[in-house]
Amino acid sequence: MKELAVECNVSVATVSKVFMDSYEISKATKKKVLEAASRLNYTINPYASSLKNKRSKTIAVILPEVADNFFSLAINGIQSVAEKKGYHVLIYLSHENFIHEKSIVAECSNGRVDGVLISVASETISGDHIVKLQDENIPVVFFDREFENLSVAKVITNDYECGYLAAAHLIKNGCKNPVFLSISSCLGICKKRSEGFLAALKDKKTGHPETAVIECNGTKEEDNSQIKKLLQSKNRPDGIVTSVERLAISVYLVCHELNVSIPGALKMVAFSTLETAPILNPPLTTIVQPAFDIGKTATELLFKEIEKKECKIADQIIILPSSLFERKSSQIR
Amino acid sequence: MKELAVECNVSVATVSKVFMDSYEISKATKKKVLEAASRLNYTINPYASSLKNKRSKTIAVILPEVADNFFSLAINGIQSVAEKKGYHVLIYLSHENFIHEKSIVAECSNGRVDGVLISVASETISGDHIVKLQDENIPVVFFDREFENLSVAKVITNDYECGYLAAAHLIKNGCKNPVFLSISSCLGICKKRSEGFLAALKDKKTGHPETAVIECNGTKEEDNSQIKKLLQSKNRPDGIVTSVERLAISVYLVCHELNVSIPGALKMVAFSTLETAPILNPPLTTIVQPAFDIGKTATELLFKEIEKKECKIADQIIILPSSLFERKSSQIR
DNA sequence: TTTATTTACGAAACCGTTTTCGCAAAAGAG
DNA sequence: CTCTTTTGCGAAAACGGTTTCGTAAATAAA
């Protein structure tokens, strides 16, 4: 900037003001400086700028994993609005691990980011790290996976209703013993989905509510063998609802291996945004979350607070409904 | 930091040195300062730090899109090493658009990042923006999708061989007229895969090399209708190799719609890391890239230059082989 | 005991911006 | 033609660290 200043015979203050597009500077000098800048291809140093403004123009996105198609789509939504605002997006992966998530969140509190979007890990058992972040005046928005009972803005889907819907759908189609595969009993998303699921079981007086929610929170191999055992047990279910995408794939793989016919012996509904759902064998009935919109809306909400248009977003809850796509995996045949 | 200094009765210089773990500072004061820091929960301001060191501890990852499972896995690999090094990861999406890619790359040249990992957009028709980046002394590594004829480090897979392998596999299994669905004639990855594909056609004296490479570079809908037309034409292929994941899904969807039997009427091989390949209808023969390792290796290479362990990585090429998983979609029946 | 060296720390300059404040010159008002 | 206001710009002080260099005290060497 100093070089540019001497090149143009002005002060650094003037150059800075040109880049801020200040009204104090005449058209003529603005033009002169900008031309010289592009000639020397000079651009503002973002960190010096951040230091001065206390604005990083960066947000953090904390995800449990990125292999799930849901999160890929959500990232797209997030990116689309961040970019429009001229913001940069830092990605962090918690790998479903609470300790890891805490250390990531801690990294976000020293001014590195202006806001945080987070979908909590399945192993997260406390919201203290999030509260601490808010205490440091960093806006936070949960998207999809919230941690309950916190005064934090959230963009989620209608999990309870969808849990209910999934169970009701299976029961309507003849299931006598449907089960729900959860990944965590702490996770808001799983709790609500399973609660809705159980409510349907009770309403329809079907199945065994006491044992109908099964937790799969191991490695992929552990989950697979757990599912295998489940499908070979004497009280094996005739219907499964999976709470996340990867469990749906596991169930399919196990069924192919054990020759369990879907939907003949087992009907399935999956919470999933899998693009390949219609071309699976058999086509998979899915409850699909509006992943892109969840990401987009959460980011818009975050910016409301970052830009102080709306000072307190903390208690705002936005619910974007999911929808059931009925396919062969859950049909009567 | 100033507050912390007075709290501990030392100078800011000393505090700074404590955090740098300088040998100049005694065990005792280090302990004192660190304790006070955690009590006041103080952490170093990253941007002030970056400004002074000219190190951002951040790398950029530029991707065409994130919906493709390949990139999700690659991000995991990238993140795994960046995290170990204490680096942060900025994600940018080019949406396959060249102009967009250029503006993203430009953003990376003002010190915001210490290095760039890029998988180029399919519409990228020049490498000037990349060269410019290198001129600014920002290390760059291509991963998976390179732009050819540039002196830039790259981590890629054995595309030519795999293209050859795919065609040979189809021909061996009885295809008389296999085609290759490309997304761009400029993209190194597609060029090599299609060249390998064509070489096999010539070697085996099969098919119509002049018309065997078809470019699908439109929207999803445009690609779908192009594929539909292809499968309804009188010279319709009896084998398809798709260069990217999304085209494989498109072909399957179209085949389901048109009732084209796979592998009866059409055999398929896809370049893809789709986790659902074995449970598709029919199971899909894939050539799977070691996505995680490509990301990981590329990042390691990048850090070699960032940390100046190896001054010039520019011409290094690392090839990680892909492997063919034969499934029903390409079998003789 | 004197001199040389090591240890532990502080003062101050600097990294590249932004912003306040002051001040001329130009323009407008009376 | 004087007086006020506006316009256009520069000097300098931050922002929060890092680093060089200097120095006093403690230790070692002679």
Average pLDDT of the segment spanning B239-266: 96
pLDDT tens-digit map of A259-303: 999 999 999 999 999 999 999 999 999 999 999 999 999 999 999
Average pLDDT of the segment spanning B8-12: 93
Q: At what angle do helices A245-258 and A220-232 cross, to 10 degrees?
A: 50
pLDDT score, position A310: 66
Tell whether the model's pLDDT for residue A120 goes beyond 90: yes
Average pLDDT of the segment spanning B305-316: 79
pLDDT score, position B311: 67
Sign of CA dihedral A81, A83, A86, A92: positive
Confidence of residue B68 (pLDDT cuts 50, 70, 90): confident
Closest C-alpha among A125, A223, A132 to residue A183: A223
A72·B66 Cβ contact <8 A: yes
Tell whether the model's pLDDT for residue B292 goes beyond 80: yes
Q: Does B47 touch chain A (CB under 8 A)?
A: yes
Give the lowest-confidence range in A98-112, A245-259, A296-310.
Answer: A296-310
Closest chain A residue by Cα to residue B52:
A48
The model's pTM is: 0.94
Tell whether the model's pLDDT for residue B312 goes beyond 80: no
Residue at token pair 């809306």: A297
> In whole angstroms, what is the distance from residue A103 CA to residue A150 CA?
19
pLDDT tens-digit map of B169-222: 999 999 999 999 999 988 999 999 999 999 999 999 999 999 999 999 889 999
Tell whether the model's pLDDT for residue A308 goes beyond 90: no
Closest chain B residue by Cα to residue A60:
B90
pLDDT score, position B42: 93
B112·A46 Cβ contact <8 A: yes
Q: Which of B111, B276, B283 sits opposite A46 (nearest CB)?
A: B111
Q: Does A23 touch chain B (CB under 8 A)?
A: no
Give the lowest-confidence range in A87-96, A167-176, A306-315, B62-71.
Answer: A306-315
Closest chain A residue by Cα to residue B256:
A279
Q: Which nucleotide is nearest to B30 (CA to C1')?
A: C8
User: Is the CB of residue B180 less than 8 Å from the CB of residue B251?
Assistant: no
Q: How far is the CA of A310 from the C1' of D9 (A)?
A: 37
pLDDT score, position A315: 82
Q: How far is the CA of B106 from the C1' of C13 (A)?
A: 32
pLDDT score, position A277: 97
Q: What percent of chain A has pLDDT over 90?
A: 91
Contacts of A58 in chain B (CB under 8 A): 90
Q: Which of B111, B281, B282 sits opposite A47 (nearest CB)?
A: B111
pLDDT tens-digit map of B76-132: 999 999 999 999 999 999 999 999 999 999 999 899 999 999 999 999 999 999 999
A88·B48 Cβ contact <8 A: no
**How far is the CA of B13 from the CAs of A233, B90, B165, in angstroms?**
67, 31, 63
Residue at token pair 């520019």: B314
Mutation target vs B (from A66, A85, A108; most B CBs, 10 A cutoff): A66
User: Is the CB of residue B117 less than 8 Å from the CB of residue B141?
Assistant: yes
Burial bucket for residue A2 (CB in 10 Å: 0-12, 13-18, 19+): exposed
Contacts of A282 in chain B (CB under 8 A): 281
Tell whether the model's pLDDT for residue A311 goes beyond 70: no
Q: How far is the CA of A58 from the C1' of C17 (A)?
A: 18
B72·A66 Cβ contact <8 A: yes
Q: Does A53 touch chain B (CB under 8 A)?
A: no
Contacts of B85 in chain A (CB under 8 A): none
Q: How far is the CA of A12 from the C1' of C30 (A)?
A: 39
> In whole angstroms, what is the distance from residue B49 CA to residue B251 CA?
51
Output the average pLDDT for chain B.
94
